[in-house]
Amino acid sequence: MAQTVEALVNQALIAIGYPVRIGDLYEGSEASNAAVEVYAQTRDELLDAGDWPLARRANVALTLLKGPPPAGGYNPLEPWGPTYPPPGWLYEYAYPDDMIDLKAIHPQPSMIFDLDPKPATWRVDNDNSLVDRNGAATVQKKVILSNTKNAVATYIGQVTDPQLWEPGFTKVMIATFSKKLAVALGHSPQLGQAEMAEAARDLPPAAAERG
């Protein structure tokens, strides 16, 4: 049987002794609504916390949005403006859609191996200027600032398809998700008070309030 999100939710419902199963994550039932509140957050937190190999992305080329500044720096004829990266940074890159946590930035590998690599500085920021380096409108908001040219990134990425998960991750996901789901549903006959409190601390506000 293919491993689906619905199957994982139902395994969690069985684990907490909930009497009803879901057929679709977005069917609108009490159980499915509670699952929607906590499922994705739990998955991404566990992928990041465990640094699982299935979620590790290495040497991913970043998309340049802005930069570099004018040769010789900003001046009265070419002053800084929102078409350039914030002052102090040479390049602004798009934040990958599947990125959970950025681990490192470095130049693209070249034919000459660097025997003494230097750590690259970077910062995740929000760009509200809504234009790219060519002045075209864009919806890009979350960005990566760096002084590294042609940067590539190492990061933890989302893995949304459960069929790609390792068995160990699936086991941890169900165990953790079931505790949070029980709190969101207010149904916890098989969970102790300490486990309930631990799960509640990690819930989004809406789910914690409803539980």
- If asked whether residues 183 and 139 sit together in one domain, one would say no
Query: How far is 121 from 133, CA to CA, in rounded Å?
Result: 21
Nearest to 143 by CA among 87, 99, 88, 79: 99
pLDDT of residue 115: 58
Query: How far is 98 from 95, CA to CA, in rounded Å?
Result: 9
- If asked whether residues 33 and 82 sit together in one domain, one would say no
- If asked whether residues 67 and 118 sit together in one domain, one would say yes
Per-residue pLDDT of the chain (211 residues; tens, 9 = 90+): 458 999 999 999 999 999 999 999 999 999 999 999 999 999 999 999 987 999 999 999 999 999 899 888 888 888 888 889 999 999 999 999 999 999 999 988 765 666 566 668 999 999 887 665 566 666 658 999 999 999 999 999 999 999 999 999 999 999 999 999 999 998 655 554 445 445 445 444 433 333 3
pLDDT of residue 63: 94
Segments forming the whole domain that contains residue 180: 5-52+166-210
Query: How far is 203 from 42, CA to CA, in rounded Å?
Result: 9
- If asked whether residues 127 and 204 sit together in one domain, one would say no
- If asked whether residues 39 and 60 sit together in one domain, one would say no
As for how many domains the chain has, the answer is 2
Torsion of CA 101, 103, 104, 105, to 10 degrees: 0
Do 106 and 148 form a contact (C-beta atoms < 8 A)? Answer: yes
| Domain final residue, candidates 122, 140, 157 | 157
- If asked whether residues 148 and 100 sit together in one domain, one would say yes
**HEC readout, the chain:** CCCCHHHHHHHHHHHCCCCCCCCCCCCCCHHHHHHHHHHHHHHHHHHHHHCCHHHEEEEEECCEEECCCCCCCCCCCCCCCCCCCCCCCCEEEECCCCEEEEEEEEECCCCCCCCCCCCCCEEEEECCCCECCCCCECCCCEEEEECCCCEEEEEEECCCCHHHCCHHHHHHHHHHHHHHHHHHHCCCCCCCHHHHHHHHHCCCHHHHHHC
Do 116 and 38 form a contact (C-beta atoms < 8 A)? Answer: no
